Amino acid sequence: MMKHLAVLAALLAPLPALADPDPADWDAVTAEAEGQTVYWNAWGGSTTTNDFIAWVGDRVAEDYGVTLEHVKLTDTADAVTRVLSEKQASENDDGAIDMIWINGANFAAMKEADLLFGPYAEQLPNWAAVDYEGKSVQTDFTVPVEGYESPWAMAQVVFVHDTADMPDSLGSMQALLEWTKANPGRFSYPQPPDFLGTTFLKQVLVDILPDPAVLAEPVSDDTYDDVTAPLWAYLDALTPNLWREGKAYPATGTAMFPLIADGELDLSISFSPGAASTAIANSELPPTVRTFVLDKGTIGNASFVAIPYNSGSKAGAMVVANFLMSPEAQARAQDPDVLGYGTVLNMDALSDADRALFDALDLGVATLSPAELGTVQAEPHPSWMTRIGDDWMTRYGVAQ
C-alpha cells in the first residue's frame, strides 16, 4: 500500500522546471533562441513605437532567427496581471508573455512577487557600452534593478508648447500655475494612473518642495500629509483652469498631440524629449511646437524590458533585450523621425563607427540638446507614486 502511494506521489510531483538559459554563455543563448517566438507585451497606443518594435522584429528575425510578436497593451499592468494569473494557475513553463516593456511600480511589484527571470541584464554582451554610471539604469524609481530588467531608452520630462499661441517657456511649476490662470483651458495632463499623468504630479511635488530629498525614502504615514499638502493646494488651484475644467483628461501623453494640433491645448508635457520633433515630422504637430524644461530640471528615468519567470522563450527574449541595447537599435530609437528616445549608451564606450551613427542624427527642431535638458531630477520612491495616484483618484478622479 505504502509503495503504491509512493509511486503515486512521484507521479503527481511537479516536473522539474526546464533548465533556464544561462546569460553568461551567450553562444548557447543565441543557439537556443533561434526559432523561438517572443511575445513582447508593450504599450500599443503609439504608432511610432509600434513601427519601431516591428523594425526590431525584422532585425532579430534576420540576425538570430527570433520571431518577435508585439502584443499591444493599453496598460502595462495588464501584462503584470496576466503573469500573476498564470502563476496562480501553475502555468510555470510557457506563459503567454515573454517580455514586458516595464518600469517603476510594475517592476517593483513583479520583482517583489518573484515573477521575473534573472539576473540577466548585466551579462548581456551589449551591457558593456551602457552608461550605468551616468544614467539611472541600475535603480528604477529607487528600486535596485539587480539585473532583473535591461534598459533600452532614457526618458525625461519636457514641456511641449505651441509657440504660435504661447511664445515663452516657463521656469517653474509656480509659473505654470500663474500661466494657466491667465490662459484657462489651455493645459492638461494625462489622467493618472497613466504613467505620464502621475509623473506630472511627481514633477509638481519635486519642483515645489524646498527639499525633495524626502521623496527618495518610502512613504511614511507620519510625513505623507505634510509632504503632499502643497501638492494638493497646487492642484486645487490648477484644476479649475485645466482643459475641460478638469472634468475630463486626455488618456495618455500621445493623446495630447492632436489636442495641440487642433489648438485645444497650448501646453502639455511629454516624457520623451524627442517626441515633439517626431510628431512634427509626422504632421501630427504644427511646426511651431517647441519644448522646454524647468529651471531646476525635470524628472527622468529609464525604460526597461523584463522577462517573466515563466516565459518559454527566455533565450529569445534575451536576444531581443540585447539587441535593443545595440548601437544600431539605440541610434534608430534616438532618430526623431523614428522615436526620438534618449539613448542608454555611453558615447565614450562606443567605437568610432558606432558613435558616428549618433553624430549623424539631426535631433530635430523641437528637441533640446543634452546640455539644454539640464539637471535630471531623480524619480521618487515608487510608493509615492502609488499613494499620490490613489489620492489623486479620490480627490480629482471622481469629480462630481
Partner 1 sequence: MLGPVVAGLWGTLLPAFGHLPAAGITGPSLDPFRDLFDWAGLPRAMLLSVSTGLIATAVSLLIVMLITAGWSGTRPFRLLERLLSPLLSVPHAAAAFGLAFLIAPSGWLSRLVSPGLTGWDRPPDLLIVQDTWGLTMTAGLIVKEVPFLLLITLAALGQADARRSVVISQALGYGRLTGWLKTVFPRVYAQIRPPIYVVLAYSMSVVDVAVILGPNTPPPLSVQIVKWMSDPDLAMRLEGAAGALLQLLLVIGALVFWRLGEMAARVIGQRWIIAGRRGRFDAITAQIALGLGTASALAVLLGVVVLTIWSFAGYWGFPDALPDQLTWRNWMRHGPGTMEALGETALIAGIVALAALILTIGCLEAEYRYGLHISQRGIWLLYLPLLIPQTAFLPGLQTLLLGIGADVGRGPVMAAHLVFVLPYVFLSLADPFRAWDVRMGTIAAALRASPNGVLWRVRLPMLLRPILTALAVGLAVSVGQYLPTLLIGGGRVATLTTEAVALASGGDRRAIGVYGLMQTGAALVPFALALLVPAVVWRNRRGLRHG
Task: Find residue 288's DSSP bridge partners.
Answer: none
Q: Tell me the three cell numbers of residue 77.
A: 499592468
The length of the chain is 400
Closest to partner 1 by CB, 72 vs 355, is 72
Closest to partner 1 by CB, 105 vs 227, is 105
Residues 15, 89, 182, 371: which binds partner 1 (CB under 8 A)? 89
Residues 31-70: x where in contact with partner 1 by CB under 8 A, - otherwise, as a string:
--------x-x--xxxx--xx--x--------------x-
128 scored as a contact of partner 1 (CB under 8 A):
no
391 scored as a contact of partner 1 (CB under 8 A):
no
Instruction: Report yes or no: 382 and 142 within 8 Å, Cβ to Cβ.
Output: yes
Task: Using the rule CB under 8 A, give the single segment among 73-81, 168-176, 217-225, 227-235 that binds partner 1.
Answer: 73-81
393 scored as a contact of partner 1 (CB under 8 A):
yes
Phi and psi torsions of 393, nearest 5°: -55, -45
110 scored as a contact of partner 1 (CB under 8 A):
yes
- Interacting residues with partner 1 between 184 and 223 (CB under 8 A): 184-185, 191
5 scored as a contact of partner 1 (CB under 8 A):
no
245 scored as a contact of partner 1 (CB under 8 A):
yes
What is the longest distance spanned by two Cα atoms in the chain? Answer: 87
Minimum CB distance to partner 1, residue 45 (Å): 3
369 scored as a contact of partner 1 (CB under 8 A):
no
Minimum CB distance to partner 1, residue 132 (Å): 27
Instruction: Report yes or no: 260 and 160 within 8 Å, Cβ to Cβ.
Output: yes
Pairwise CA distance, residues 33 & 52, whole Å? 21
Residue 87: burial class (beta carbons within 10 Å; 0-12, 13-18, 19+): middle
Residues 221, 262, 348, 359: which binds partner 1 (CB under 8 A)? 262
Pairwise CA distance, residues 396 & 394, whole Å? 6
How many angstroms separate the first and last alpha carbons of the chain? 69
88 scored as a contact of partner 1 (CB under 8 A):
yes
Radius of gyration (Cα) for the chain, nearest Å?
22
- Give, in degrees to the nearest 5, the angle at Cα 119 between 44 and 145: 65
Pairwise CA distance, residues 216 & 228, whole Å? 14
Q: Count of alpha carbons within 13 Å of 173, Cβ hemisphere only?
A: 24
Strands 139-140 vs 143-144: parallel, antiparallel or unpaired? antiparallel
347 scored as a contact of partner 1 (CB under 8 A):
no
79 scored as a contact of partner 1 (CB under 8 A):
yes
Instruction: Report yes or no: 293 and 368 within 8 Å, Cβ to Cβ.
Output: yes
Residues 18, 229, 233, 248: which binds partner 1 (CB under 8 A)? 248
Minimum CB distance to partner 1, residue 46 (Å): 5
Judged by the rule CB under 8 A, the positions of this chain that interact with partner 1 are 39, 41, 44-47, 50-51, 54, 69, 71-75, 77-82, 84-91, 96-97, 105-106, 109-110, 184-185, 191, 243-252, 254-259, 261-264, 283-284, 286, 393-394, 396-400
